[in-house]
Amino acid sequence: MKNIAPAIFSPNGIGDTKPTNQAVLDWVHEIGKLTKPENIFWCDGSERENEFLIAESLKQNVLIKLNEKKVPRSYLHRSNPNDVARVEKVTFICTPTKEEAGPTNNWSEPADTYSKLYGLLNGAMRGRTMFVVPYIMGPPDSPLTKVGFEITDSKYVVLSMRIMTRMGKIALKRLGNDPKAEWNRGVHSLLDVDPDRRFICHFPQDNTIISVGSGYGGNVLLSKKCFALRIGSYLARKQGWMAEHMLILGVESPEGRKHYVAAAFPSACGKTNFAMLIPPAHFKGWKVTTVGDDIAWMEIRDGRLFAVNPENGYFGVVPGTSYKSNPNAMKSIEHDTLYTNVALTDDNDVWWEGKDGAPPEHAIEWRGDDWTPDSKEKAAHPNSRFATPMGNNPALDPDVEKGEGLPISAIIFGGRRSDTVPLVYEAFDWNHGVYLGATMASETTAAATGAVGKVRRDPMAMLPFCGYNIGDYFRHWMDIGKRLTNPPLIFNVNWFRKGANGKFLWPGFGENMRVLKWVIDRCERTGGALKSPVGWLPSPHDLDLEELDIDHKSVADLLGIDHEEWQKELAEHEAFFGSLGGVVPEELQKQRKQLVARFKE
């Protein structure tokens, strides 16, 4: 069989930064004995190492160099066409009992799963290089920061990890020599990228992840979904903090008052766009800054929630990104960016559906075939991605590295719903907010394999990422609420409601500032609201809609509560809770009954 990841041989001084922690050395030795690589490459995160790995990746066609003038220091990677998204059906939580994984996770017994995976890994790196990637998640001096090691046979993974995490010597320093120190063990092998031999398995009790048979980011950059969310959420519950699928943004008024907001939207529902929002001209003097675009780790201090972004880069969906939809993302990905599965133009530039300007007359589409605007297929895969360092973002928050984190004034939940759910509303209190999160739903996207556009319940946008029983997760949220003396206000938003003509009612993107402004007004106790059965709703004049081209009817439709639609929605909440087989806390069932009762008032 063809070796899809041939070994590389590095000169002295590259690939030889061995950790000194004996526990790490023992684990690497054990995985080496099992996978039998040609050699071991110990990453240090240096520029020299990066240049060497890029040169080797170009030789092996793992990367294609892009036009140096148009996208300096940037590369294109094409994944196997059978391997373009997260695969939830082969993602497992391997806790000693099925109950611990709960009703929303695939569960697999740990001992059996280890032996199956060790079987697949036996000799899997023959003729390959085994890379050992040390990394930290979180700002270098934060108490929330954690260490991970990823072993991989993929150069693309190493290059991506260098963008997405703080990688190399910094992690060795943070870990130190204590053999009992906490760190995450991640093992990844491409195997032969066969969907039938693809498994992403988490062992929360062992702080261990094993991912085989895929090369797609969400399945193999183990720092991200696997560690920062699945294992992270398990550790967070045990240790009394929160690991959430949330962007974090800062919003500053012209007077210099600043709030931080965290928002949980499901995959490919606009977290990156919201985190990089540029306020419209009407909001002169207002500034939005990005802390993170995908994950928030939060802890309680002085009765408030403080958040850090554990990541160091953005792994965003490319199609639809343009100077109109997200100028800050466009500026971020103009250089030093690793693209996956976008189209390549004849002058070695990148192209995707929704990019500014006319499509190229000819391009090579994401699989490597010829493409013209008349082609039936898309040029870029709908889940094509960029990986870019957060330092590229012109709107990066100046306090992103602050170890103590940033105080969160508001939490926003949101999904992609064509009907039923108003543009924005506010929970009556923390537990009601937990109910909003627990019952949120969204139309599925190309970020995961499976049907697209199907409404599914996605509690707190964590359905694919909660590493333990969802009932305990809801309980953890409520326990956190009890410990907060100054809790964030909780909101729900829906940018995606459609009118009778099937068109979006709300312009979205930068105009979402109007909703954010109301959220901030509510935090400052200056914003008006009407009591509705679902929560506090802005009336049209509570929202600043000046200089926005939108008619009264659309605003009324956006903010309206259609009782018939809500009867259906309430039945779905009940059915969803019912489908969880009795794990839903009594308090949330009470919230549901109160919501039903408010509709009868």
Residue numbers of the site for Mn ion (CB under 5 A)? 267, 294
Interface pick for ligand OXD out of 83, 100, 294, 472 (rule CB under 6 A): 294
Q: Which two tokens stand for residue 294?
A: 């995908």
Q: Which does 86 bind (CB under 5 to 8 A by kind): Mn ion, ligand OXD, none?
A: ligand OXD
SS3 (DSSP) at 286: coil
Closest approach of Mn ion to the CB of residue 570, in Å: 28
Residue type, 440: M
The dihedral built from the CA positions of residue 95, 462, 395 and 253, taken in this order, carries a sign that is negative
Long-range contacts of 281-285 (CB under 8 A, 24+ apart): 281/547, 282/544, 282/546, 282/547, 282/548, 283/513, 283/517, 283/544, 284/254, 285/253, 285/254
SS3 (DSSP) at 119: helix
Which C-beta is closer to Mn ion: that of 203 or that of 315?
A: 315
Closest approach of ligand OXD to the CB of residue 507, in Å: 24
Half-sphere exposure of 556 (CA within 13 A, CB side): 4
Half-sphere exposure of 276 (CA within 13 A, CB side): 27
- Binding to ligand OXD in span 26-85, by CB under 6 A: none
Q: Report the distance separating Cα 341 and Cα 216, nearest Å.
A: 10
Which C-beta is closer to Mn ion: that of 246 or that of 513?
A: 246
CB 275 within 8 A of CB 248: yes
Instruction: Give 344's strand partners.
Output: 350, 364
Q: How far is CA 511 from CA 267, 329, 330, in A?
A: 21, 16, 18
Closest approach of ligand OXD to the CB of residue 444, in Å: 11
Site string for ligand OXD, 314-343 (x = CB under 6 A): -x----------------------------
Closest approach of ligand OXD to the CB of residue 316, in Å: 8
Closest approach of ligand OXD to the CB of residue 218, in Å: 5
Closest approach of ligand OXD to the CB of residue 273, in Å: 13
Pairing relationship of beta strands 91-93 and 106-107 according to DSSP bridges: parallel
Interface pick for ligand OXD out of 77, 86, 188, 475 (rule CB under 6 A): 86
Which C-beta is closer to ligand OXD: that of 342 or that of 513?
A: 342
Site string for ligand OXD, 514-553 (x = CB under 6 A): ----------------------------------------
Which C-beta is closer to ligand OXD: that of 150 or that of 294?
A: 294
| Element spanning 57, H or E | helix 47-59
Closest approach of ligand OXD to the CB of residue 352, in Å: 16
Residue type, 82: N
Interface pick for ligand OXD out of 267, 289, 290, 340 (rule CB under 6 A): 267
Site string for ligand OXD, 187-226 (x = CB under 6 A): -------------------------------x--------
- Give the number of other CB atoms < 10 A from CB of residue 369: 11
Which C-beta is closer to ligand OXD: that of 62 or that of 462?
A: 462
Q: Report the distance separating Cα 84 and Cα 216, nearest Å.
A: 6
Does residue 447 touch ligand OXD according to CB under 6 A?
yes
Which C-beta is closer to Mn ion: that of 88 or that of 587?
A: 88
CB 526 within 8 A of CB 449: no
| Element spanning 548, H or E | none
Q: Which does 447 bind (CB under 5 to 8 A by kind): ligand OXD, Mn ion, none?
A: ligand OXD
The string of DSSP letters for 60-102 reads TTS-EE--TTTSTT-EEE---TT--SB-GGGEEE--SSHHHH-
| Element spanning 177, H or E | none
The dihedral built from the CA positions of residue 26, 192, 78 and 466, taken in this order, carries a sign that is negative
Strands (E) across 284-438 are located at 287-292, 296-301, 304-308, 313-317, 338-340, 343-345, 350-351, 363-364, 370-371, 385-389, 406-414, 424-426
Closest approach of ligand OXD to the CB of residue 267, in Å: 3
Which C-beta is closer to Mn ion: that of 267 or that of 420?
A: 267
Does residue 491 touch ligand OXD according to CB under 6 A?
no
Q: Report the distance separating Cα 483 and Cα 486, nearest Å.
A: 9
Which C-beta is closer to ligand OXD: that of 34 or that of 461?
A: 461
- Give exposure, 47-75, as e/b (b: 16+ Cβ within 10 Å): eebbebbbebbeeeebbbebeeeebeebb
Which C-beta is closer to Mn ion: that of 186 or that of 217?
A: 217
Catalytic-labelled residue, pool 43, 94, 226, 269? 269
Closest approach of ligand OXD to the CB of residue 304, in Å: 27
Residue type, 595: L
Catalytic residue flag (residue 269)? yes
Binding positions for ligand OXD, rule: CB under 6 A: 86, 218, 267, 294, 315, 447
Query: Would you name the residues annotated as active-site residues?
Result: 269
